[in-house]
């Protein structure tokens, strides 16, 4: 499960993989596509595409999306195990609206 869900630097990748899962569910006939974000903040690199593997592949495969979906399913299932504790990530700052 650590490949996608436990990687601290994988936040945008997880977001894009989630979009890709939803796209695949909505448009199953499109079997080759990529996922990206158009950044309104980083104008110099406004088109930020998800790159997979050492060859920086941009086309998302069904195998990759299936693996991500399984990890997502396991992560969500773990939230419902008796005794699971929601705790603040010590590496993160509290937002201005959260109580410390």
Residue spans of the domains in the chain: they are 2-78
46 CB neighbour count, 10 Å cutoff: 12
Spell out the per-residue pLDDT of the chain, length 100, in tens: 356 677 767 788 888 999 999 999 999 998 889 998 888 888 888 788 888 877 788 889 899 899 999 999 998 998 899 998 888 777 777 777 776 6
- Of the candidates 59, 95, 72, 58, which has an alpha carbon nearest to the alpha carbon of residue 14? 72
Distance of CA 61 to the CA centre of its chain: 15
- Cβ proximity of 21 and 65 under 8 Å: yes
């Amino acid at each position: 499960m650590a490949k996608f869900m436990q990687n601290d630097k994988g936040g945008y990748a997880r977001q894009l993989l989630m979009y890709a899962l939803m796209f695949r569910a909505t448009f199953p006939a499109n079997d080759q596509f990529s996922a990206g974000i158009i950044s309104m903040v980083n104008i110099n690199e406004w088109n930020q595409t998800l790159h997979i593997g050492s060859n920086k592949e941009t086309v998302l495969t069904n195998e990759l999306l299936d693996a991500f979906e399984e990890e997502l399913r396991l992560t969500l299932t773990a939230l419902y195990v008796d005794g699971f504790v929601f705790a603040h990530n010590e590496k993160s700052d509290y937002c201005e609206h959260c109580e410390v």
